[in-house]
Amino acid sequence: MRLLLALAPAVLACAANAQWQNALAPSGKPGAPMTLASRGRARCTILLPVSPTTQERKAAADLQQWLGEISRTALPIAGEDRPVRGKVISIGATRLLAAQVAPTGDLADEGYGIAQRRGNLFLWGGRTRGVINAVYALLEEDLGCRWYTKESTRFPRMAELKVAPVARTYAPRLRLRDPFTFVSFDADWSLKNRTNAPSAPVPEEWGGRLDYGPLFVHTFHQLMPPDKYFAEHPEYYMQDADGKRNSYQLCTTNPETIQLVTEAVLKAFRENPAMELASVFKMDGGGICHCPRCSELRAAEGADMACQLVMVNQVAEAVEKEFPRATIDTLAYLDTIGVPKTMRPRKNVAIRLCNDAVGSWVHPFTPAEKCDIGKLTRDWGAACGRIYIWDYNVNFSHYMAPMPNLDVTVENVRFFVKHNAEGIMTQAGYQSPGAERDEMRSWVLAKLMWDPSLDLQKLVLDFIHGHYGRAAGPIAAYDALLRQAGIDHAAELESPPGGIRYRMDHPFLSEAFLKRGDELFVQAKKLAGEDDVLLHRVERAELPILYVKLSRGPAFVGDAYPDLLTRFERIARATGVTHTWETAPNLDSQITAWRKAWEQRAK
């Protein structure tokens, strides 16, 4: 197998920064140093099983590539069906692993193991991406390699490549690990950073992703299209408060509705072999059925979720018979947020609990534990062993708005994990790149979802010094400035007008804050010098400051407004921004509106 050594210049731009520290270094005693390559000569062989899986082949190829980048040496890959001389790095379920390590314990789908025996190094893992996760754990945690973004990679250079790995096994607590930003949807980035997100299409031959197939979240109209059923069978759909049938939601207690939904879900699983989950849930916006069955059950159980679970549990029971590893999920959201008195989800049902009006929509800077979502999390965690969290972490009216909530987001991750969360999605700027600190947020949250015990501030500095190189100092100072602004204005940010959609004239976005932000980015750009790649990274990070000033208008900015707009447009287009808020693509219309605002002032 050949070694791929060619990398674009952008990949290497962040490699050197003396202040960088490995925030992912594993705890424990390092093993005996093992020489993998020395001055251009391979000192070991990457060993595959006789009949390797596609995941084992991928793991071996990726390990070969990145060890080659570090040492400028191509380590050979060989199979166990032929004699191999010398020491080996064993990948996956080799005979040598069974003979020398004999691993025990269930690593599930994605857990991994690293061990040394008799001078050999062993990397193995669970059923899907486990062995690939072992490779990237070794590269990231023991050797200090990084894949901060799709284009930003950091790795050491070693003429004498030695590794002294910490022996360990690890299986992540969270099955769903989804930063849910546009930049996190890249399949290669997701694989390297060990996220498992439905929107990051990791190929099945690499271990796949958490796959909903065609049935994700608001699925009632997919499962039972109103134009197919409503005219002849209005009773399949909700009865509104005035006694009329409404096609927007289903009547989830109607036996015929349940049967049709069950058939549709089974059909989706049969037609999508990689599918692992299916959502059975209402259309967005809420609405409850007032038919006698639903009304009586809702009153008895004290929660509309009871009506939902009548359908969901029956669907799940049918699915389990044919697809025993599949999961049905449904949302605790709006009308269905409360826990029923006695009804409980089946074991193959996951509750996707939304931190919306009960938390982050209204209190975006307050920990979930201190909001209504805190009690709901505890109650659902006690009632159901499988909770998937849908969290919200960006200003949906201003994707680029500075947002000092990373500490709260991370505190929430840990709180949700403590209370039976099996999955977490942190919805942020998902429609285009360029949302507030999207690259850093994605990387930091990927690491914390994999291991919630990691130190947030160390991760932030790992990213800043690794990604921004010699320009890192002012960027770190801006991060501290934003964090301090959140602390200084904590009372005003507790329930900001507009909630998560706060305005760009909020007191924490003060003239002093913006002025200091400007100064720090001027410093960072000077340090970037003539390195175009690094300069663009710095300018991309500056977009939130420019956005706030443009949003405040010509009267706030003054005569510099046209130049500011020109600079914003240049950076935004180079970044690939298409959305500045949750809507259809709007960058062009936003720039046009800002330009007209200046023209009106100039008249």
Query: Which distant-in-sequence residues (6+ apart) come within 8 Å of 343 by Cβ?
Result: 301, 305, 306, 309, 310
The whole-angstrom separation of Cα 171 and Cα 175 is 10
Cα–Cα–Cα angle for 9, 63, 42, nearest 5°? 95
Q: What pLDDT, on the 0 to 100 scale, is given for residue 18?
A: 84
Q: What pLDDT, on the 0 to 100 scale, is given for residue 12?
A: 41
By CB neighbour count within 10 A (0-12 exposed, 13-18 middle, 19+ buried), where does 597 fall? middle
User: Where are the domains positioned within the chain?
Assistant: 9-170, 211-335, 469-602
For 441, the token pair is 């947020």
Kind plus residue range of the DSSP H or E element containing 371: none
Q: Provide the strand spans (E) within 411-456.
A: 421-427
For 420, the token pair is 């039976």
Q: For tokens 């769903």, name the residue.
A: 176
Q: What pLDDT, on the 0 to 100 scale, is given for residue 517?
A: 98
Which CATH number does 9-170 carry? Answer: 3.30.379.10
Cα–Cα–Cα angle for 334, 337, 398, nearest 5°? 45
Residue 271: how many other CB atoms lie within 10 Å: 10
Q: What pLDDT, on the 0 to 100 scale, is given for residue 603?
A: 73
Q: What pLDDT, on the 0 to 100 scale, is given for residue 2?
A: 27
| Eight-class DSSP state of 440 | H
The whole-angstrom separation of Cα 308 and Cα 504 is 39
pLDDT for 431-472, tens place per residue? 999 999 999 999 999 999 999 999 999 999 999 999 999 999
Q: What pLDDT, on the 0 to 100 scale, is given for residue 16?
A: 57
Q: What pLDDT, on the 0 to 100 scale, is given for residue 17?
A: 76
The whole-angstrom separation of Cα 117 and Cα 130 is 20
Sign for the pseudo-dihedral over CA of 494, 495, 501, 502: negative
For 582, the token pair is 């949750």
Residues of the chain with pLDDT under 50: 1-15
> What is the three-class DSSP state of 189?
helix
